[in-house]
Structure 1
Amino acid sequence: MIATSRDGHVAVVELQREDRRNALDLALCTAVHEAADTAVADGARVIVVTGKGSAFCSGADLGGVYGPDFLQGLYGMLRRLTQLPVPLIAAVNGPAIGAGTQLAMACDLRVADETAKFAVPTARNGLAVDAWTIRTLSELAGAGRARRLMLAAESLDRDEALACGLADRPGTVADAIAWAHEIAEFAPLALAHNKLVLNGSSADDEAIGRSFADVWASDDVQEAALARTERRAPVFRGA
């Protein structure tokens, strides 16, 4: 159902329901959630999420979207990805429809290949997505394009997604992994703090304050200063 691999500090989580174009059901949502948690626990500094075959994720498996267990599994997984203390990169290797667009948005960065397409066609199938999805789509793609996707059930191709900010870079899965390796060399505590602020709210002010203090008190701050004097690249340890 999924495959995970590791290359240094980078973990890759690949959805493997190719016969269903990687559509999300409860079992796959649970597997992604657990794989991401395991990767962080094992020391991954960046996670790349992608799909096997010609689709990133074709959406929710319509055979099971109406049950409360699926909704809890889907939104629990999406929320968990936004809360992880490491950056996630979605390697969008084809259509990301409905829950596929949600999965891509739950990641922090998106690399889209030439076949990528984004859509949230709830108006066509009588379903709904949560407020986080609609607001995040508006923040990333702009209010006008979000209205086109949500009210006119339109889609965005790779070029338009790049132009509006829904996708960050053009490229393949290999390009996404290469970018992940670059990011994995940065200071882990600083990355975790930045992600916490970007994804947080005013309710997280206390946690953000602690995170800010932890960064400034870390050994990595001293390592950066020493590396500057020694004219070398710093080696961050996340402590």
Structure 2
Amino acid sequence: MAVVDAELLVEVAGPVATVVIHNPTRRNAMTPAMWRRLPGLLDQLDADPAIRAVVLTGADGTFCAGADLGDLDDLLDAGDASVAVKAEERLAAFAKPTVAAIRGACVGGGCQLAVACDLRIAADDARFGVPPARLGLVYPAPTTRRLARLVGPSTVKHLLFTAELIDAGRALRVGLVDEVLPAAGLDARVGEVTAAVTARSRLSVTAAKEIVDGRADDDRIAWWHGQVRASGEAREGVAAANERRPPCFPWSPPTAEPGDRGAAG
């Protein structure tokens, strides 16, 4: 099914929801309304137990050419409290696996969204850039730090200092994307990756995301090991491997009050 909501399209196929950035007359630039809508949309997808993974992509062969700057005074006043940063932080904190499927331009705000995803798979026509130095702006600090963790300080300085576009091959070499393939094969490969992720233990995947992202302290890690023991998933996984059959993993996040980390997303 497809639902149009504030220029963000949501398409659901089985356990995978695809969020499509749709503003083709502006090469899918994110408007202020789109930035404001994204966190609530992600809240809905996070709360839906049938959704196991989310793909973020753009319409008509372009991922996202940046942010529609709108009212410049509002942007300058907001600084790192902007609607774009709030949307990026919500995407980064999303409990379920996220994949950016990137074609064409992935620039500025588009790069901001792609870097907030867990995985980035790009077509060979993708182009990446961070242009604030051409505009006299300061790239948001949370975004800059996230990008630096991904590609390292030297590469992020090059991107920020020069505002140059880099092609998909270089993006792969510096670690900005995980895979590059011909554009015609992008959807199939994203489908393969999301099918693999959603077939795995949700317990394992959710715990791994928390730990890799630095959101699990020692008590939380002990809680995760307790979930492994209580759920029986490890026994099922080993038995399925020995019996050469697909495993049946029963675990789902425990229900809890909003904000209780024991809910595991």
- Give the AA of the match of 2:206: A
Residue-by-residue CA offset, 1:197-233 (whole Å, 9 max, x unaligned): 122258x554444334324432322321331332212
1:9 aligns with 2:22: no
Between stretches 222-231 and 21-30, larger displacement belongs to: 222-231
| Contact 2:35 2:83 (8 Å CA) reproduced | yes
Q: Number of residue pairs matched?
A: 238
Q: Give distance in 2, aligned partners of 1:64 and 1:115.
A: 31
Alignment match, 2:195? 181
State which of 111, 136, 143 in structure 2 corresponds to 1:126.
Answer: 136
Q: Distance in 1 between matches of 2:222 and 2:88?
A: 24
Letter in 1 for 2:191: I
Provide the residue aligned with 1:211 in structure 2. Answer: 224
CA deviation after TM superposition for structure 1 residue 56, in Å: 0.5
Which of 146, 167, 175 in structure 2 is aligned with 1:157?
167
1:34-78 Cα shifts (integer Å, max 9, x gaps): 232222322211110000013201111022454239953212211
Query: In the alignment, what sits opposite 1:73?
Result: 83
Give the whole-Å Cα distance in 2 for the aligned partners of 1:217 and 1:120: 46
> For structure 1, which segment, 205-214 or 184-193, has the greater mean C-alpha deviation from structure 2 after superposition?
205-214
Quote the Cα distance in structure 2 between the aligned partners of 1:51 and 1:99.
Answer: 12
| Mapping of residues 54-93 of structure 1, within 5 Å | 54-64=61-71, 66-67=73-74, 68=78, 71-93=81-103
Amino acid at match of 1:50: T
Name which structure has the greater RCO, CA cutoff 8 Å, separation 6+: 1
Q: Measure how far apart 1:101 and its partner are.
A: 0.5
Task: Give the AA of the match of 2:64.
Answer: C
Q: Which runs of 5+ in 1 are unaligned?
A: none
Distance (whole Å) between structure 1 residues aligned to residue 139 and residue 229 of structure 2: 39
1:114-168 deviation digits (Å, cap 9, x = unpaired) = 2211111111111122222222222222322111101122222100011121110
Q: 1:58 to 1:128 in 2, by over 3 A?
A: same
The alignment's TM-score, normalised by the length of structure 1, stands at 0.90
* Contact 2:106-2:126 at 8 Å conserved across structures: yes
**Partner residue, 1:199:** 213
CA RMSD of aligned residues (A): 2.1
Deviation, 1:86, is 0.9
The one-letter amino acid of 2:140's match is D
1:115 to 109, 117, 125: 125
Question: TM-score scaled to structure 2, two decimals?
Answer: 0.82
Conserved 8 A contact 1:10-1:177: no
What residue in structure 2 maps to residue 27 of structure 1? 33
> Structure 1 144/8 Cα, relative in aligned 2: closer, same or farther at 3 Å?
same
Moved over 6 A (4+): none
Percent of residue pairs bearing the same amino acid type: 34
Structure 2 residue identity aligned to 1:112: A
Code of the residue aligned with 1:188 in structure 2: it is R
**Distance in 1 between residues matched to 2:150 and 2:239, nearest whole Å:** 37
CA distance in 1 between counterparts of 2:23 and 2:123 reads 20
Stretch of structure 1 that moved more, 23-32 or 117-126? 23-32
Contact 1:112 1:158 in 2 (8 A): yes
Whichever of the two has the greater Rg, that structure is 2
Taking the aligned partners of 1:28 and 1:70, their CA distance within structure 2 comes to 17
